[in-house]
Structure 1
Amino acid sequence: MYIPEYQRNENLSEVKTFIRQNSFGVLVSQIAGKPWATHLPMELDVQAEGKDILVGHMSKSNQQWRDFAKNEEVLCIFNGAHAYISSSWYQKEEVPTWNYVAVHVYGKIRILSQYEVMASLHRLVDKYEAESENPVSLKNMSNHTLKQVHGVVGFQVEISDFQAKYKLSQNREHDHPKIIEALEKRPDEASRAIAELMKERSDIKGAASPKTSSKKD
């Protein structure tokens, strides 16, 4: 992914939190030399050896999994909030743009055993049912219903690289107050989320600035 240095986020803890909060992503691999993508949830986890992994599953009818072994590396894409930025919010004339957050994860993929698939499905359901008014659990489902698990293929991606792009008008800091104000007035949640992220990034930079200045002195 193309990432200008000032838009790169190398805070791995923050990037991992982003993935956990935006775990519905896109798995991209190759089938006969052609890119193939599937939209699905992929949960960030850690192996017993301490290596970062992504865990997910897909339908056995999806031919993508049949070529997993032929892929030296796969790409997993996670998107966050995004918003159109009008250049009418700038102090000087410029073209409009788009602000967004995206994370690319690369790694080696392998197919899970039936036992591993079932364990991952229990974790997945328990995570997303935790705040439900009437939470369901796979533990309470009949064997007849759970037979559907045989129709999916589980996979694990051992992560080799994280790439995080936070495009938040970093090159237009003098315009931030107006951009944030305009985004907060918009009715959609994504615009307001981008405004909040811009404020958070400004706070982080502001907190770090005294250390930066002391090194220069």
Structure 2
Amino acid sequence: MYIPKHFKVTNVDEVWEFIQKNSFGTVVTTDQGKPIATHAPLQLIRTSDGDYITGHMAYANPQWKAFEVEKENILVIFQGPHGYISSSWYEHENVPTWNYQAVHVYGTANIMSEKELEEDLILLLQKYEGHRKNPVLWENLSSQTKKQIKGIVGFKIKIQEVQAAYKLSQNRNKEDYHNIIEKLSTEEDIHSKTLAEVMKNRK
């Protein structure tokens, strides 16, 4: 990913937090030179053996077969809020642009065992169900429902490289920066409003 120096993020903890908050990612592989992508809820798992992105996809989805290929390079894309930035929001004439947050993770994948997949699903349900009034947790599921695990394939991608870009008008002066936040806040698009909050919290 091309990242101008103004927008490059190198703080590892900040990147990990971003992945945790924006964990619905895009898994990209290739099949005979053709890119293939699957959109899925993913998790960041940190172990003494390294850092991993874990997830699962339907058995009927042929993309999982790429994870069986030794040393196959996998790209996982995580995206945060984004929005159009009008040049009319600047003090001086300039060109319009687009602000965004994006993280690219590269690594090699392996297929999970059924036990590993079950452990990953337990964590996934705890993350998204644990705070709910009537949480749907793994231990509460019937054995019949649990059998549906046969219909999915779990995978884990060992992280080898991370690229992070936060293009948030860091290259603009203070007046422009605060004006952009104000203008984004008034946009109808929810991404623009969220982007305004992200920019506000970074200054």
Give the deviation of 1:46 after TM superposition. Answer: 1.3
Give, in angstroms, the shift of residue 110 of structure 1: 0.4
Verify: 1:180 aligned to 2:181, yes or no: yes
Shift of 1:149: 0.5
Q: Distance in 1 between matches of 2:31 and 2:148?
A: 26
Corresponding residue number in structure 1 for 2:66: 67
Unaligned runs of 5+ in 1: 203-217
* Structure 1 equivalent of residue 194 of structure 2: 193
Question: How many equivalent pairs are there?
Answer: 201
Residue 57 of structure 1 is matched in structure 2 by 56
Q: CA RMSD in A?
A: 1.3
Cα distance, 1:45 vs. partner? 0.6
Aligned equivalents of 2:125, 2:88: Cα separation in 1: 45
Q: Is the 8 A contact 2:81 2:192 kept in 1?
A: yes
The CA distance in 2 between the partners of 1:47 and 1:156, in whole Å, is 12
Give how far 1:97 is off. Answer: 1.1
Aligned partner of 2:36 in structure 1 is 36
Letter in 1 for 2:180: I
1:40 match: secondary structure = strand
Match of 1:206 in 2: none
Cα offsets for 1:138-175 (capped at 9, x unmatched): 21211111111000000000001111000011221241
| Residues 78-97 of structure 1 aligned to structure 2 (within 5 Å) | 78-97=78-97
Shift of 1:196: 2.2
**2:94 counterpart SS class:** coil
In structure 2, list runs of 5 or more residues that go unmatched: none
Q: Larger % of helix: which?
A: 1
Q: Distance in 2 between matches of 1:69 and 1:154?
A: 12
Aligned partner letter, 2:68: A
Return the offset for 1:69: 2.8
- The more displaced of 102-111 and 89-98 is 89-98
The sequence identity of aligned pairs, in percent, is: 49
Provide the rounded CA distance (Å) in 2 between the counterparts of 1:35 and 1:131.
37
Separation (CA, whole Å) in 1 of partners of 2:134 and 2:22: 23
2:169 aligns with 169
Matched, 1:111 2:93: no
Q: Is the 8 Å Cα contact of residues 67 and 155 (structure 2) preserved in structure 1?
A: no
Q: Distance in 1 between matches of 2:62 and 2:92?
A: 51
String of CA shifts for 1:36-94, please: whole Å, max 9, x gaps.
10000110011242x11111000000001112233521000000001111111111122
Letter in 1 for 2:143: N
The normalised TM-score by structure 2 is 0.94
Larger of the two Rg values belongs to structure:
1
